[in-house]
């Protein structure tokens, strides 16, 4: 699409534009959206260097600009275009202003040409042959001096540390001003960062000549910030920082890792397991200290699996039992409003078979009630309709049933509330209960496809600015608007996910991000977490006082139920394997029968005769 570019954008004159050296380092890294990790249609902010996806993907750059209005200039990694979110091109050139014009347009300026050249060279592997300014040439000469001499004289050693670095004790590392020097990285906006930092005095150097002149007997260990190496000028060797990890404090390791994450072209430092351990220990420390006082939960079907909820979708599940009788195309059709209005009896029969009277709340349900009684929980958003939150005695004012519940009744035709007991009587008798006002079929107040979510859901999601922690359990976060709840919350709130698989576009692997993915079975990980935060004993007492049960008995019962489910899954896999083997046997027998009817050597004789004819002619 051809578009006009604005030639006099005033925002390119801003002295806070990203330095070119910073920009070079950013585009050398793997570019992806900071929020959703999407790699298509990306825009790089020319003020902070962060990358976000376009309005054609998930509109995260638009969100970034709304949160930071001064960050209005960006360059497209996909199209090399420059865009300003604050400028407009007037539809009527004779008018100075046109209020009807929407803000945002492509721009062109000599001030930003260098960014396009750098991105172009990176994207198309083309060397930039344009003439450089005197200042750039001088800087390049310094870099050449630094790189050539330094790389020639300071050799890398990949194995053990030298005796000088190895002799530095943990206490000396703790007292070293080097970490304070590293903190300057977050303050320096221009010229990116210094190149070399002295271990003993925090002196910063830009060239190899400065390094040599600074080196003395007591000042011979340096950190190379270009490569994140530790340098010994006594031995003329450099070593990867990973070799000194054991000597560093948690704070130092965290800080160095945060630097690496800011400049991804640097070598790896901490492993994913080490990052998780540091982050998890921080979560435990903060939780134990009482930092989190306003928590919300987001939960789904995964927290009820250990309760033995009747199966729905499997080959022997409730859907299969009713599919043929009511001519239903798929499991989702159970919850289509149109289907229910035409023939409500199928749902009444399903509800009777879907007997939850014997099911009990799981450890996850009781964990939510435990924190609620500790006055730490603001809301519990649940996708579940099984009502186990009510059985767990969680106060109703804390519960937000996003997809409705079985404890209230209504008429979907006239929207009037009706007595749930009348509906339950109809379910028991196998008779549809009809609305006394409009004669429409009534049902429990669970949300069908085609119905709106409860009003309380929308009221509560706009009341999340004061929360400090979101705990997500047993949900895939694929159904909206439920999955979008964190977007309405305080942006500084931490996010903890107890789940079998990662959900959401949260940067779990970033050491400074307040989010944690705790993988595995939810109930087991909750118990481990309670032990780590020193609340296991209190939780055990709470279970006995509140429910009259022993925690060990609950754990044992849940394991039995889960073992039964695991056995059913194994049987299903065995049956599928046997079917495949039977299919292969049938195929093999068919091939043998074909051979008997039409022998292979019949064709071989023909081929031999043809070869003989050819040889004779030759």
Q: How far apart are CA 250 and CA 511, in angstroms?
A: 11
Mean pLDDT calculated for residue range 91-105:
50
Residue 299 above 90 pLDDT? yes
* Residue 410 β-bridge partners: 417, 443
pLDDT at 320 over 60: yes
Superfamily of segment(s) 10-124? Zinc/RING finger domain, C3HC4 (zinc finger) (3.30.40.10)
Asked whether residue 566 carries a pLDDT value surpassing 60, the answer given is: no
The predicted pLDDT at position 316 comes to 55
Tokens encoding 410: 């209504």
Higher-confidence position of 408 and 192: 408
Ordered strands of the 105-106 beta sheet: 51-53, 42-45, 73-76, 82-84, 105-106
Q: How crowded is residue 159: how many other Cβ atoms within 10 Å of its Cβ?
A: 6
Beta bridge partners of 324: none
Q: Are strands 494-499 and 515-519 parallel, antiparallel or unpaired?
A: parallel
What CATH superfamily is the domain 271-309+360-403+453-549? TPP-binding domain (3.40.50.1220)
CATH code linked to domain 148-267: 3.30.40
Peptide bond into 576 cis (omega under 30): no
- Per-residue pLDDT tens over the stretch 567-603: 455 555 555 555 655 555 555 555 555 555 544 443 3
362 falls in which pLDDT band (50, 70, 90)? very high
Domain 271-309+360-403+453-549 in the same topology as domain 10-124: no
Tokens 């919350």 sit at which residue? Answer: 489
Residue 412 pLDDT greater than 70, yes or no: yes
pTM of the model as a whole: 0.62
Domain residue extents for the chain: 10-124, 148-267, 271-309+360-403+453-549
Instruction: Please enumerate in sequence order all residues whose Cβ is within 8 A of that of 286, keeping only pairs 6 or more positions apart, or say none.
Output: 292, 494
Active centre residues (catalytic): 403
pLDDT of the residue at 414: 93
pLDDT exceeds 50 at position 127: no
pLDDT at residue 76 in the model: 87
Average pLDDT, the chain: 78
């Amino acid at each position: 699409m051809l578009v006009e570019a604005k030639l006099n954008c005033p925002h390119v004159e801003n002295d806070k534009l990203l330095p070119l050296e910073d920009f070079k380092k950013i585009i050398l890294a793997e570019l992806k959206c900071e929020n959703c990790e999407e790699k298509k249609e990306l825009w790089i902010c020319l003020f902070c260097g962060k990358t976000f996806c376009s309005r054609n993907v998930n509109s995260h750059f638009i969100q970034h600009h709304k949160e930071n209005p001064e960050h209005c200039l960006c360059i497209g990694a996909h199209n090399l275009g420059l865009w300003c979110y604050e400028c407009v091109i007037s539809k009527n050139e004779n008018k100075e202003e046109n209020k009807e014009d929407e803000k945002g347009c492509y721009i062109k300026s000599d001030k930003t040409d260098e960014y396009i050249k750098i991105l172009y060279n990176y994207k198309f592997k083309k060397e930039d042959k344009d003439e450089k300014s005197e200042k750039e040439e001088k800087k390049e000469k310094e870099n050449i001096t630094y790189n050539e001499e330094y790389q020639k004289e300071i050799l890398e050693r990949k194995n053990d540390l030298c005796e000088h670095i190895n002799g530095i004790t943990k206490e000396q590392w703790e007292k070293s001003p080097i970490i304070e020097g590293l903190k300057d990285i977050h303050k320096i906006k221009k010229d990116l960062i210094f190149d070399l930092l002295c271990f003993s005095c925090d002196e910063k150097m830009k060239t190899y000549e400065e390094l040599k002149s600074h080196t003395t007997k007591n000042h011979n260990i340096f950190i190379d910030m270009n490569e994140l190496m530790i340098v010994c000028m006594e031995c003329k060797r450099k070593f990867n920082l990973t070799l000194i990890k054991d000597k560093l404090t948690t704070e130092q390791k965290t800080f160095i890792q945060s630097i690496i994450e800011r400049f991804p072209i640097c070598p790896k430092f901490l492993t994913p397991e080490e990052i998780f351990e540091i982050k998890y220990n921080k979560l435990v420390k903060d939780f134990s200290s009482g930092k989190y006082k306003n928590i919300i939960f987001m939960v789904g079907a995964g927290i009820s699996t250990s309760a033995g909820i009747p199966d729905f979708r499997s080959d022997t599940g409730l859907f299969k039992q009713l599919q043929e009788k009511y001519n239903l195309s798929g499991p989702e059709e159970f919850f289509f409003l149109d289907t229910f209005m035409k023939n409500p009896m199928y749902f009444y029969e399903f509800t009777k078979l879907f007997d939850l009277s014997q099911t009990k709340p799981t450890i996850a349900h009781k964990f939510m009630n435990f924190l609620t009684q500790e006055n730490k929980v603001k809301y519990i958003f649940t996708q579940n309709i099984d009502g186990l939150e009510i059985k767990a005695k969680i106060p109703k004012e804390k519960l937000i049933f996003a997809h409705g519940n079985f404890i209230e009744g209504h008429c979907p035709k006239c929207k009037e509330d009706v007595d749930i007991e009348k509906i339950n009587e109809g379910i028991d008798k196998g008779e549809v209960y009809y609305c006394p006002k409009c004669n429409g079929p009534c049902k429990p107040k669970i949300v069908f496809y085609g119905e709106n979510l409860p009003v309380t859901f929308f009221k509560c999601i706009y009341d999340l600015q004061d929360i400090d922690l979101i705990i997500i359990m047993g949900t895939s976060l694929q159904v909206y608007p439920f999955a979008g709840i964190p977007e309405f919350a305080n942006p500084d709130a931490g996010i903890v996910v107890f789940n079998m698989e990662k959900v959401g576009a949260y940067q779990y692997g970033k050491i400074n991000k307040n989010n944690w993915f705790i993988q595995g079975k939810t109930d087991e990980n909750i118990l481990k977490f309670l032990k780590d935060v020193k609340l296991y004993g209190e939780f055990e007492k709470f279970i006995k006082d509140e429910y009259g049960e022993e925690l060990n008995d609950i754990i044992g019962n849940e394991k039995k139920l889960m073992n039964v489910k695991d056995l059913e899954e194994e049987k299903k896999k065995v049956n599928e394997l046997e079917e495949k083997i039977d299919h292969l046997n049938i195929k093999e027998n068919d091939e043998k029968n074909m051979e008997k009817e039409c022998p292979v050597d019949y064709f071989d004789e023909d081929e031999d005769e043809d070869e003989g004819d050819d040889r004779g002619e030759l």
